[in-house]
């Protein structure tokens, strides 16, 4: 089945690894976007790792008329070692297309691959592509083309993950919609590109963080990827290892997605430099900053000066948030700020191994009486207790927690990622200048983070001035209504060209 029989929705939202199962900034943004466009109908495709049961964390708004999970990995009942015959040219064409795709060939190559898989005469079923003689030969052929100098065993398992996900995207039912809106590149971007190829409908992307950068950080940090090519100190060695293949593949996905999208939206201008580097056309680029419901936080009282000095990190306990650096910074701050209270406000179950490592780090510093992991909470309930908001992420786009804290008059200490500097210090064209709303620090620098936090906690006058600067900046530039109006215009433009 290539498409479902439901009436077409106005917008098909394609999300990966977030809504409705993972609470946090992007999921909250998706919920906000749907509720903020009640005149439109939405169907949602949630790309997930596997078919395991998941519990939604969001109640679907009334204008959501369809919802589908799309697992990237599903159990294959049995090995179909002999799956019939097909022309040798078909097998060679698939191997060539997969290789070209990884090497950045772009949308035309994906179009060719879609045509190969769609043609029933080729019998390129998920089972044939993943558990047959054909899949073995394709693995060997792409290994020889992509990384012949490195470990075949490691490539074999990477092949099953990377191309298994691609084949799942190509085989999944495609919801009918007048326009498709993906919230990232990656596999979500591939599905959006496939929709553009098969339906001709307009496609839009909104990138919060740049997916390729986030995956690159994870891949470079991953201990489960083994380096099997010793390049020494050479800058000229062109041999490809497994990390290179992973990174090249995700960059290739981005090129395909950008090629398919009529509008390429990000949250701040500096992200466009990265989009251009992966082939995004200048005339399709746009910036729509995130907005928040200012009224939800503006009425909250600020933390009392005589209350326990409190710093909070609001976010998921996952490696990309670098919670360990926050814990190390708290240990340093405690030495100079008596009575310190530190909070990590956010879900802990997404990466249980990392959470246990963070708990171990707390124990190493003997911070059990100082730092608390709250799990998922309504952050508005905590704002009146927080003096300083901290963010130690390795990668972000335009984190809503800085805006939400700012709307409540709370200054932030944040790493120099995404739009953090722009939000805390103001845009270059800010008139009049409102002043700093906190401090921006280097990545993975607990000492600098600690000094910034301690400085704000110890200096009440400066802390309040920074908080008021943030409050005014959010009021002027980051209201939810402005962002919703921009998306309403974008959707109207796309739907006017959908041909219906």
Residues 114 and 236 in one domain: yes
Is residue 255 very low, low, confident or very high in pLDDT (cuts 50, 70, 90)?
very high
Residues 371 and 278 in one domain: no
CA–CA separation, 60 vs 465, rounded Å? 40
What sign for the dihedral angle of Cα 449, 451, 454, 456?
negative
Is residue 96 very low, low, confident or very high in pLDDT (cuts 50, 70, 90)?
very high
Give 432-477 pLDDT, tens digit per residue: 999 999 999 999 999 999 999 999 999 999 999 999 999 999 999 8
pLDDT surpassing 70 at residue 260: yes
Given this model, what pLDDT does residue 499 score? 61
Give 28-46 pLDDT, tens digit per residue: 889 999 999 999 999 999 9
Given this model, what pLDDT does residue 500 score? 55
Tell me the CA distances in angstroms from 322 to 24, 30, 316, 332, 334, one per residue in order.
16, 24, 10, 16, 19
- Over pLDDT 90: what percentage of the chain? 73
Residues 337 and 203 in one domain: no
Number of domains in the chain: 2
Rg (CA), the chain: 24
Give 341-387 pLDDT, tens digit per residue: 999 999 999 999 999 999 999 999 999 999 999 999 999 999 999 99
CA–CA separation, 480 vs 358, rounded Å? 34
Residues 33 and 74 in one domain: yes
Residues 193 and 322 in one domain: no
- Over pLDDT 70: what percentage of the chain? 96
Is residue 290 very low, low, confident or very high in pLDDT (cuts 50, 70, 90)?
confident
Given this model, what pLDDT does residue 228 score? 78
Residues 217 and 77 in one domain: yes
CATH code of the domain in which 390 resides: 3.40.50.2000
Is residue 1 very low, low, confident or very high in pLDDT (cuts 50, 70, 90)?
very low
Given this model, what pLDDT does residue 407 score? 96
Residues 235 and 91 in one domain: yes
Give 178-223 pLDDT, tens digit per residue: 999 999 999 999 999 999 999 999 999 999 878 888 888 788 877 7
Give me the domain span that covers residue 50.
1-291+479-500
Given this model, what pLDDT does residue 301 score? 94
pLDDT surpassing 70 at residue 303: yes
Q: Which two tokens stand for residue 139?
A: 């693995």
Half-sphere exposure at residue 314, Cβ-oriented, CA atoms within 13 angstroms: 24
Residues 144 and 158 in one domain: yes
Residues 300 and 165 in one domain: no
Residues 109 and 248 in one domain: yes
Residues 305 and 250 in one domain: no
Q: Which two tokens stand for residue 474?
A: 């959010």
The 10 Å Cβ neighbour count of residue 231 is: 13
Residues 184 and 265 in one domain: yes
CA–CA separation, 258 vs 262, rounded Å? 8
């Amino acid at each position: 089945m290539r498409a479902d029989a439901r009436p077409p929705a106005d917008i098909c939202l394609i999300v990966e690894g977030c809504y409705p199962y993972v609470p946090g900034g992007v999921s909250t943004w998706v919920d906000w976007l749907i509720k903020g466009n009640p005149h439109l109908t939405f169907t949602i495709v949630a790309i997930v790792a596997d078919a395991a049961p998941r519990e939604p964390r969001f109640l679907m708004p009334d204008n959501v008329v369809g919802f589908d999970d799309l697992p990237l990995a599903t159990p294959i009942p049995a090995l179909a070692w002999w799956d019939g015959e097909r022309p040798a040219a078909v097998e060679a064409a698939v191997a060539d297309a997969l290789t070209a795709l990884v090497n950045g060939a772009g949308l035309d190559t994906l179009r060719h691959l879609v045509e190969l898989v769609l043609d029933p005469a080729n019998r390129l079923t998920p089972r044939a592509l993943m558990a047959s003689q054909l899949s073995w030969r394709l693995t060997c052929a792409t290994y020889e083309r992509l990384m012949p100098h490195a470990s075949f065993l490691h490539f074999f398992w990477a092949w099953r993950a990377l191309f298994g996900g691609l084949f799942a995207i190509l085989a999944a039912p495609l919801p009918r919609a007048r326009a498709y809106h993906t919230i990232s590149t990656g596999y979500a971007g591939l599905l959006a590109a496939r929709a553009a190829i098969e339906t001709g409908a307009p496609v839009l992307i909104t990138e919060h963080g740049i997916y390729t950068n986030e995956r690159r950080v994870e891949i470079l940090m991953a201990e489960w990827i083994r380096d099997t090519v010793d390049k020494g100190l050479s800058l000229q060695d062109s041999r490809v290892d497994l990390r290179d293949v992973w990174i090249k593949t995700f960059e290739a996905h981005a090129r395909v997605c950008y090629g398919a999208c009529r509008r390429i939206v990000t949250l701040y201008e500096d992200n466009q430099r990265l989009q251009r580097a992966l082939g995004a056309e200048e005339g399709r680029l746009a910036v729509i900053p995130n907005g928040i419901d200012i009224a939800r936080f503006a009425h909250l009282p600020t933390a009392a000066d005589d209350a326990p000095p409190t710093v909070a990190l609001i976010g998921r306990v996952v490696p990309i948030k670098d919670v360990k650096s926050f814990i190390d910074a708290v240990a340093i701050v405690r030495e100079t700020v008596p009575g310190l209270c530190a909070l990590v406000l956010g879900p802990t179950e997404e990466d249980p191994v990392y959470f246990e490592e963070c708990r171990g780090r707390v124990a190493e510093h003997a911070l059990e009486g100082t730092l608390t992991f709250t799990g998922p909470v309504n952050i508005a309930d905590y704002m009146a207790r927080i003096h300083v908001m901290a963010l130690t992420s390795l990668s972000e786009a335009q984190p809503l927690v800085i805006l939400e804290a700012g709307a409540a008059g709370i200054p932030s200490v944040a790493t120099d990622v995404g739009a953090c500097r722009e939000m805390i210090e103001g845009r270059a064209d800010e008139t009049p200048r409102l002043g700093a709303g906190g401090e921006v620090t280097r990545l993975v620098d607990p000492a600098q983070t600690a000094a910034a936090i301690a400085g704000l906690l110890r200096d009440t006058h400066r802390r309040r001035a920074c908080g008021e600067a943030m409050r005014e900046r959010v009021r002027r530039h980051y209201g939810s209504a402005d962002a919703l109006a921009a998306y309403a215009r974008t959707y109207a433009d796309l739907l006017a060209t959908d041909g219906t």
